[in-house]
Structure 1
Amino acid sequence: MVRRGSGGLPIYRQISDLLRREIQDLYKAGDALPPEGELAIRFNVNRHTLRRAIDELVNEGLVIRRHGSGVFVLSPTIDYCINAETRFTATLESKGKTTQSRVLRKQIILAKGGVASRLQVPVGEEVIFLETLREVDSKPFCVISHFLPLQQVPQVLADYNSGSLHAFLEQQSNIKVLRSESLISAVIPEADDAVLLNMPRNLPVLRVKSVNLAVHNKRPVEYVVTRFRGDATQLSVNP
C-alpha cells in the first residue's frame, strides 16, 4: 500500500519497492509489466511519479524499457570478474552456477590482419578457429570465438570437444595461460549471435577482446572474442 504524508518514503520510492517485490515473486524474465497508465491508476499517481518509480527499477537492472513496446523484466545479472587468471568454468562454478560448453565450429583457417598481429604469427599461418556457446544454469550466456596457433596447440583441433579450454590446455599441452589484455565495448549483436543467445537484436552485447599468453614463454597462445548478453552480465575488471 502506498502511504501519503510527511515523514515516510517518497511516493515513487514506495511504488518502486512494491513493484520490486512483485517482480521477484510474480514475474519471470521477459514478462511485461502492466502499461504505465494502468499502474498510474492503480497507485493513484500521475504519470511522472510512476515513471520515476520505473526509473528506479531500470537503474537497478531489474527491467528495461523498449520504445513502443513497454517495460520488460530482465534476467538477473551475473557478476563476471575479468583478471589475469580468469577461467570461465572455474569463475562461475565458484559462484554456485552450473556451466556448459558446446562447440559450434572447429576448423583451420589462415591468419589475417588482427588475428595474425594479436597472435604474433605471420599472415597466412594456420590457426585453429574454435567457436563455443557457453551456458550458465542452462541459459545462453556468451558466444566465444577462439583463435589459437595450430603449431603450438594441435591437440585442440584433434581432441577438444567441451568443458574448460584452459584446463584442457594445461592438462593436455602443459600450457598455463594468463590474460594480458582485455578490450571491452558494447555493440549490437550479429544475427547469428542474437539467435544463439536468445536475445533481441536491439539489445547490446558486451564484446570482450582478449589475448592470453603462455606462462612459460610469454608468447600469445590464444586470441579470444567473447560476446556476453548485455542484459544478463555485469563485468568487473581487476588487474
Structure 2
Amino acid sequence: MPKSIDSSNGSQPIYRQVSIILAHEIRKAYTPGDLLPSETKLARRFNINRHTLRRAVDELINSGVVNRVRGKGTFVITPVIDYDIKKTTRFTENLESQGRRAHSQVIRKIALSAPKGVAKMLGLKEKEPVALIETLRQADNSPFCLVSHFLPYNKFFQVLKKYETGSLHRFIRKEYHLHLQRTLSLITAVLPKQNDAELLRTGINSPLLRVKSLNVDTVTGMPVEYAIARFRGDAAQLSVEP
C-alpha cells in the first residue's frame, strides 16, 4: 500500500491515491465513530490543495467509509453488513461466510414465566416456564445485534447451565441432536430501549431493525426457539429468502 503520492504521468489521479491511502489507514487504525483529522491538516500532510483533498474524502463518503457532519467534521461510520435471513443460515455461519469475525457474548441467562406472546409462539400455556438467553452479537468486534432467545424450559433447561458462547443453534444441534429451521420472520423498524442502545452503542433515537423468528425441529416441526433480534439500523442490510 503506497504511503506517498505518485505524480508521474500515467499514475492515478491524486485525489484517488489519497482516498486509497486514507481508506487503508481507516481499516487498520480507526473504529466507527472516530473523527478524521481536519481537511486542512490532511491537505497539509499530503501537500495538496483542499479542493483535491475534498474530492478524496468525497470518494470515501460515496464508498460508505465515512460521513461528513457539517460543523463537526468527518467521522468513520459503521460498515453496512449484508445479512441473509434464510431457513437454516445462522449468525456465526452468516458472518464467517463473508470473511468477518463473529462473536457472541451472553448478557444474561434466566428462567421465567412465558409472556403470552412467547407462549403462543412456542406452543406453551401462558406462564409455563421458558429459558431466556440474551446475547450480544458482534461483527468484527463492533456491536451488531442483540438477541433474546426463548426456549421451552422443561425440554431445554440444560441450555442455561451449559451454553456459554458461539452459535446457540450449533450448541442445540450438538447437545440435543436437533436441526432447526426458521419458519417465521417478522421485521419491524423500532426505536431502542435505553439498555439496548447502551449495549449496541447507538443513539436512543437511532432506529433498530427488529426481527422476530420462530425456529422448529426439521423432523418433527416442534417449536424449539422463539427469537427476537434487534439489529443496528445503520449496520445491517437484511435480505430475506423467499
What TM-score, normalized to structure 1? 0.76
SS in 1 for 2:184: strand
1:183-222 alignment to 2 at 5 Å?
183-222=186-225
- The match for 1:124 among 101, 111, 127 is 127
Mapped pair 1:157 → 2:168: no
- The match for 2:172 among 166, 169, 181 is 169
What TM-score, normalized to structure 2? 0.75
Contact 2:95–2:101 (8 Å) recurs in 1: yes
Task: Report the residue type matching 2:23 in the other structure.
Answer: Q
Contact 2:23–2:65 (8 Å) recurs in 1: no
Matched residues, number: 221
1:135-184 deviation per Cα after TM superposition (whole angstroms, max 9, x unaligned): 22222221110010112222212211111110111111111110011111
Contact 2:23–2:60 (8 Å) recurs in 1: no
SS in 2 for 1:151: helix
Structure 1 position 109, deviation (Å): 0.8
Structure 1 position 201, deviation (Å): 2.3
Distance 1:67 1:155, change over 3 A: farther
Unaligned runs of 5+ in 1: 1-14, 37-41, 45-49
1:1-239 alignment to 2 at 5 Å?
21=20, 24-25=23-24, 27=26, 28-29=30-31, 30-32=33-35, 61-64=64-67, 72-239=75-242
Which range moves more in the overlay, 197-206 or 68-77? Answer: 68-77
1:29-69 deviation per Cα after TM superposition (whole angstroms, max 9, x unaligned): 42346889xxxxx766xxxxx9xx96x97675444566875
Unaligned runs of 5+ in 2: 1-14, 40-48
Structure 1 position 98, deviation (Å): 2.0
SS in 1 for 2:202: coil
1:108-151 deviation per Cα after TM superposition (whole angstroms, max 9, x unaligned): 11112211111121101000011011122222221110010112
Aligned counterparts of 2:229 and 2:209: Cα–Cα separation in 1: 8
SS in 2 for 1:152: helix
SS in 1 for 2:154: coil
Structure 1 position 23, deviation (Å): 5.4
Aligned counterparts of 1:25 and 1:131: Cα–Cα separation in 2: 35
Aligned counterparts of 1:93 and 1:205: Cα–Cα separation in 2: 23
Aligned counterparts of 1:181 and 1:57: Cα–Cα separation in 2: 38
SS in 1 for 2:192: coil
SS in 2 for 1:121: coil
Structure 1 position 191, deviation (Å): 1.4
Aligned counterparts of 1:175 and 1:114: Cα–Cα separation in 2: 24
Identity of counterpart residues, as a percentage?
Answer: 45
Task: Report the residue type matching 1:85 in the other structure.
Answer: T
Aligned counterparts of 1:57 and 1:70: Cα–Cα separation in 2: 14
Query: What is the Cα-based RMSD across aligned positions, in Å?
Result: 3.2
Contact 1:155–1:173 (8 Å) recurs in 2: no
